[in-house]
Amino acid sequence: MTSMNRRDALRAVAVTASGGLLMSQQAFAQEAGASASQTAALLQGADVCAIVPEVTEGPYYFDPAMERVNITEGRPGIPTRIRLQVVDAGCAPMPGARVDIWHCDATGVYSGYAGQGDDGSIDTTGEAFMRGTQFADDNGIAEFETVYPSWYRGRTTHIHFKIFLDETNILTGQIFFPDALSEYIYLNVAPYNDRASARDTLNSNDSIAAQSTRTAFALIKELDEEYLVAMIVGVDPAAQSAVGFSMGAPGGDRPEQPEGGAGSQMGGPSGSADRATMTPPVKGL
């Protein structure tokens, strides 16, 4: 996709600021090429450090034990940088938080499972693309290089995340994208537009997007060669997970776990965390 096409896509939407910005307003403004006053305008009405509600993990989680920034494994799509900042309700960063993300690729397929695709014929058993772990830095920031996710039946465009302190302090959530931008991409950009089926779910009729509230809608900015998807994730260090932690079951048929139902408002770490003491740790670290 050309730079002009990406600009056209962003012009076609009123890009939401509902996830807030990462770092300080000044630091984000400098990177995004905007003035501090312009950045502040983007934040108008945002739930900057609001506690993000916990939602279902969904059927496609497993821990591939891969601490890495680039999670694409060479698969095609529009380059996209995911930048999450983990904070408490008072906007204090939570360094050392373990952050996992996972999502479908540009064709709507997750790694590690059979029975996928519009006709159920795709098997990605043994693969781990679009999955990875990072540990939040001193500012609570974790960053991933990936591609813009596609869609699959029954769900709007989204990226999953988990934030860990231990087996009970886990926030399971999802990141959502502007529908107009997604629709532009899916109609005009390969391989997103190489599908026979029509998208059947938007933000407006996705129950999990509704449960997540506006705090889970990311700010999207266009950089020279990629999109920047930025979101502050507010967590409650005292909360305990209703969803919890499960390793999932990579490989085999798609598990019969519905992507529905509301969880509790959840927490993550309250300060620096040594990787060796985190539960569950990334294997081999």
Confidence of residue 26 (pLDDT cuts 50, 70, 90): very low
Residue 134 located in a structural domain:
yes
Radius of gyration from C-alpha coordinates of the chain: 18
pLDDT value for 209 = 87
Length of the chain: 285
Residue 211 located in a structural domain:
yes
Residue 283 CB burial class (10 angstroms; 0-12, 13-18, ≥19): exposed
pLDDT higher than 50, residue 275: no
Higher pLDDT, 220 or 18: 220
Dihedral sign from CA coordinates of 93, 94, 99, 101: negative
Residue 144 located in a structural domain:
yes
Residue 259 located in a structural domain:
yes
Residue 46's domain spans which residues? 3-277
What value does the mean pLDDT take over residues 178-184? 92
Residue 283 located in a structural domain:
no
Confidence of residue 139 (pLDDT cuts 50, 70, 90): confident
Confidence of residue 269 (pLDDT cuts 50, 70, 90): very low
pLDDT value for 243 = 57
Q: For the chain, how many structural domains are there in total?
A: 1
What value does the mean pLDDT take over residues 97-125? 94
CATH number where 65 lies: 2.60.130.10
Residue 262 located in a structural domain:
yes
d(Cα 33, Cα 204) in Å, to the nearest integer? Answer: 31
Residue 238 CB burial class (10 angstroms; 0-12, 13-18, ≥19): exposed
pLDDT digits (tens, 9 = 90+) for 31-79: 444 433 433 332 333 446 666 767 767 778 888 889 999 999 999 999 9
pLDDT value for 5 = 55
pLDDT value for 123 = 96
pLDDT digits (tens, 9 = 90+) for 146-176: 999 999 999 999 999 999 866 667 788 899 9
pLDDT digits (tens, 9 = 90+) for 202-235: 999 999 888 887 778 888 888 888 999 988 888 8
Residue 284 located in a structural domain:
no
d(Cα 158, Cα 115) in Å, to the nearest integer? Answer: 20
pLDDT value for 241 = 62
What value does the mean pLDDT take over residues 5-12? 55
Cα three-residue angle 228-237-241, rounded to 5 degrees: 90
Higher pLDDT, 24 or 64: 64
pLDDT value for 105 = 97
Mean pLDDT, the chain, rounded, equals 74
